[in-house]
Structure 1
Amino acid sequence: MKIRDARDEDWDGIWPFWRRIVRAGETYTWDPDTTEPEARALWTGPGRRVFVTTDEDGAVVASAYLKANYGGPAADVANAGFMVDPDRSGHGYGRALAEHVLAEAKADGYRAMAFNAVVETNPAVALWRSLGFTVLGTVPDAYDHPRHGRVGLHIMHRTL
């Protein structure tokens, strides 16, 4: 696997799994009916640094963005979003990408990373905890999960 900064042409590889993941409505708070141009702006918009993971054939199998979570005096706290093609999960792509983005965030001068809305039933919660994130709090019943009903949204944090 190779992890690198994304190029414009990588969007064609990201969009199919981005759409599938968001439409499933289980892990992201974005509208399941987000259009392709809206999705591209959310994932690759201004102020974001975007990464991709490719397999041995060069196909994009995962992506992440890195950005400031806040502005002004709090701009040194990062935020990130991660997606792995559901057909490629379980092969270590997510962990490798997460470790890469955490290292890049630190190298870029961020001192911490915060996630604002991690669906508490998201299997990635275990990954984030294993990488040193803690749950600072949970907004109860904030997310209408298609299988679990109302579930909470975690606010997670890690010092870099």
Structure 2
Amino acid sequence: MLIREAVPGDWPRIWPFWQRIVAAGETYAWDRDTSEEDARSLWMNPAKRVYVAENDGAVVASAYLTPNYGGPAARVANAGFMVDPDLAGRGTGRALAEHVLAAARAEGYRGMVFNAVVETNPAVRLWTSLGFTILGTVPDAFDHPRHGRVGLHIMHRAL
């Protein structure tokens, strides 16, 4: 697997799984009907460093890295990750996460925060295995299509 910085031409290969994941409404607190134009602005924003994971030339996952806060707190990172659901469970998410954590450390970030991790998201196990802790949970904050109202974790890891 090759992990590299994304280029604008990668978006058409990210969009199909991005749209599928967000439309499912199970893991991201974004509008399930987000248009492709708005999705591209959210994900490929120039303020973010965006990565893709390729397997045999196909883009199978993507992540972004960005400051979570501004000003004197700008050394705390935030990131988002999406793996093509058809390829989940093959280590792609872990490899991409390890790459982004290393990139954040190299860029001088002191920590990483996830602001809204749906508590039923299987990725919670990945994040805790990579050293993230749950700082708190906002109860009943997310309307999950299968589980009803569930909490959103705020997670942190020092770098």
TM-score normalized by structure 1?
0.99
What's 1:120 paired with? 119
Is the partner of 2:4 in helix, strand or coil? strand
Superposed CA deviations along residues 5-28 of structure 1, whole A, max 9, x for unmatched, are 001111011000000000000000
Question: Within 2, Cα distance between the matches of 1:62 and 1:83?
Answer: 6
The amino acid across from 2:31 in the alignment is: D
Give the unaligned 5+ runs of structure 2. Answer: none
What is the Cα deviation at residue 3 of structure 1?
0.3
What is the Cα deviation at residue 47 of structure 1?
1.0
What's 1:152 paired with? 151
Cα RMSD of the aligned pairs, angstroms, is 0.4
What is the Cα deviation at residue 46 of structure 1?
2.6
The reply on whether 1:42 has 2:42 as its aligned counterpart is yes
Question: Within 2, Cα distance between the matches of 1:70 and 1:46?
Answer: 16
What's 1:87 paired with? 86
Question: Within 2, Cα distance between the matches of 1:51 and 1:90?
Answer: 19
Is the partner of 2:23 in helix, strand or coil? helix
Question: Within 2, Cα distance between the matches of 1:76 and 1:157?
Answer: 13
What's 1:65 paired with? 64
The amino acid across from 2:29 in the alignment is: T
Give percent identity, aligned residues only.
75
Is the partner of 1:128 in helix, strand or coil? helix
Is the partner of 2:53 in helix, strand or coil? strand
Question: Within 1, Cα distance between the matches of 2:20 and 2:9?
Answer: 19
The reply on whether 1:20 has 2:14 as its aligned counterpart is no
Number of residue pairs the alignment of both structures matches: 159
TM-score normalized by structure 2?
0.99
Is the partner of 2:109 in helix, strand or coil? coil
What is the Cα deviation at residue 90 of structure 1?
1.1
Runs (4+) of structure 1 moved beyond 3 Å?
A: none
What's 1:53 paired with? 53
